Amino acid sequence: MKGFNAQIQRLLALFSVLTGTKFVGIREYISVKTGEVANFVINANFNYGNAIDSTVEILKSLTASDFQAIEAKYGVVNAEGTTYGSNAGAKLYLETGKIPKEGTKARVKVLAGVKETKRLATVCAEMVQAFLDNQNEETRSAMSVAQSEAYERITKGVKRNIKSQKLHIWAMAHSKEVLIEGNYPESNPQIETAQKSAIERYCRDILNTQLPTTKYRNFVIEPDQLSEVKVTGDTVTFIG
C-alpha cells in the first residue's frame, strides 16, 4: 500500500513519546478469525506487572461463597476426584477400556488425557500460582517463555512478531463498539478451561472487578485490518 511505511514510522514516533495513562483509538478493526468489525479505545501505556499484582489480589479475595455462586450461575464443576477424558482417545478409553499398545506415543497421549476434576478453589489457587511463577524468570512456564520470545519490543505498546514480521499494538482494552457482528463459532471448552473462564466472568460481571490481565489485546497493524489509529490528538490513517 502506498505510503504504508511512512504511516508506520509516524505511528511508532507517536507511541514512543507516550507518558502516563494514554488512551488510543483504533477504528474499524477487523478480526481475521470472526470477521467482526469494531472500534476500540485502549490504554497503550501500561505496566503488566501491576496488572498481574491486581489480578492476583482479586483472585485471592474470592471465598467459598463466591465459588458456590460461580458453580450455580455458570454450571461448572466444583467437585474433585471425578475422572474424565480431555481428548478423544482418553474419552474412548474411559468409556470402553480400549487403549493403544504399551510403548506407543498414542498410549502416552491417551493416558495424559485422563484427568480428575478439581474444586474451583483449587483451580483459582493454581491460576494465582501460575501468575506468580511467570513473574519469576526461574519458574516461568515453557509456554510463557515461548510467547515472549516470539516477539520483539519496538517501542511503547508496539511489538513485532519475529516469524511473520508483522507489527502489533499490545494494549489494555478500555471500551469496544461493535460495528459489524462477526461469525462466532460455538466452543466446547475442557472442564478446567470452563472453570477458569467462569471465575473470570464472575469477577467481571458479578463483582464488577474484571481481572486486569484479561483486558489485554493484540491488534495487527495492517492496512486491510484497520482504518486509523488516534494517538494523543493525532490520527494516522491506513486507508484511502
Q: What is the pLDDT along the chain (240 residues), one digit of tens a residue?
A: 455 788 899 999 999 888 877 899 999 999 999 999 999 999 987 888 889 999 999 999 999 999 999 999 999 999 999 999 999 999 999 999 999 999 999 999 999 999 999 999 999 999 999 999 877 655 556 666 666 678 999 988 899 999 999 999 999 999 999 999 999 888 788 999 999 999 999 999 999 999 999 999 999 998 889 899 999 889 999 865
**Cα–Cα dist 188/4, whole Å:** 40
Q: Do residue 112 and residue 126 come from a single domain? A: no
Q: Are strands 158-161 and 83-85 parallel, antiparallel or unpaired?
A: unpaired
Q: Exposed, middle or buried: residue 104 (CB in 10 Å: 0-12, 13-18, 19+)?
A: exposed
- Which pLDDT score, from 0 to 100, does residue 114 have? 95
> In the chain, what is the straight-line distance between the N-terminal and C-terminal CA atoms, in Å?
10
Contacts of 156 (CB under 8 A, 6+ apart): 15, 16, 18, 44, 45
Residues 99 and 216 in one domain: no
159 in the same domain as 230: yes
For CA atoms 37, 40, 45, 46, the dihedral sign is negative
Same domain membership, residue 103 and residue 176:
no
123 and 104 within one domain: no
Of 116, 138, 170, the residue that ends a domain is: 116
In this structure, the number of other CB atoms found within 10 A of the CB of residue 132 comes to 13
Looking at residue 213, what DSSP letter applies? G
Residues 41 and 105 in one domain: no
> 102 and 129: one domain?
no
User: Domain boundary at 99, 116, 133, which?
Assistant: 116
Pairing state of beta strands 167-180 and 216-220?
A: antiparallel
| 17 and 94 fall within a common domain | no
In sequence order, what E strands does the chain have?
A: 23-30, 37-43, 83-85, 114-116, 151-155, 158-161, 167-180, 216-220, 228-231, 234-237
Count how many domains the chain has. 2
Residues with Cβ within 8 Å of residue 125, at least 6 apart in sequence = none
Q: Are residues 122 and 190 in the same domain?
A: yes
In this structure, the answer to whether residues 107 and 130 fall within a common structural domain is: no
Q: Which domain holds residue 103?
A: 83-116
- Do 155 and 40 fall into the same domain? yes
Say if residue 184 is in the same domain as residue 121: yes
